[in-house]
Amino acid sequence: MAPYYRYAREEQGGPLKLFAPAIAVPEMNAAIHDICHNPDHALDLAHLQVDLGEYDRIRYWNGREELIYQVLLVNGVITIGSSETEVMRFPAEVRKADAIAGRILQVRAPELGAAAPRLRAVGGPR
């Protein structure tokens, strides 16, 4: 069964937060955060060459870990529904995704409510 999360105010009467959609559950974000901040998993990715166009389908993220999660999805490292245990098996891929996420963050911001471009059929039977 999928986990269910409910927003709870820190204190009764506290300010409401804006809703921020996410596809990564908090446990996944925590696993990604742990890998990215663990010096044992450090990699030299200064010479990593990336075509950021491959990641144009990522339109919105609510934090760096969420963006890293989506990069891992695009790269085919994990699938939706993968557990945090599975992500922990690939620390080098998480670090690579972190480097790619950093580059994405340098060139654009998340677009809440953005739609993916519509595809147009070309060729085929007439």
100 falls within a domain: yes
54 falls within a domain: yes
12 falls within a domain: no
Domain count, the chain: 1
**What percent of the chain stands above pLDDT 90?**
57
Q: How many CA atoms lie within 13 A of 52 on its CB side?
A: 11
Instruction: Give the residue from 105, 91, 100 showing the smallest Cα distance to 37.
Output: 91
Say yes or no to pLDDT of 19 above 70.
Answer: no
pLDDT for the residue 82: 93
83 falls within a domain: yes
40 falls within a domain: yes
pLDDT digits (tens, 9 = 90+) for 28-86: 999 999 999 999 988 999 899 999 999 999 999 989 999 999 999 999 999 998 999 99
13 falls within a domain: no
Range of the domain at 45: 26-107
What pTM, to 2 d.p., does this model score?
Answer: 0.75
With b for 16 or more beta-carbon neighbours within 10 A and e for fewer, the 77-94 pattern comes to bbeeeeebeebeebbebb
Helix, strand, coil % over all residues of the chain, rounded to 5: 40, 0, 60
pLDDT band at 20 (very low <50, low <70, confident <90, very high): low
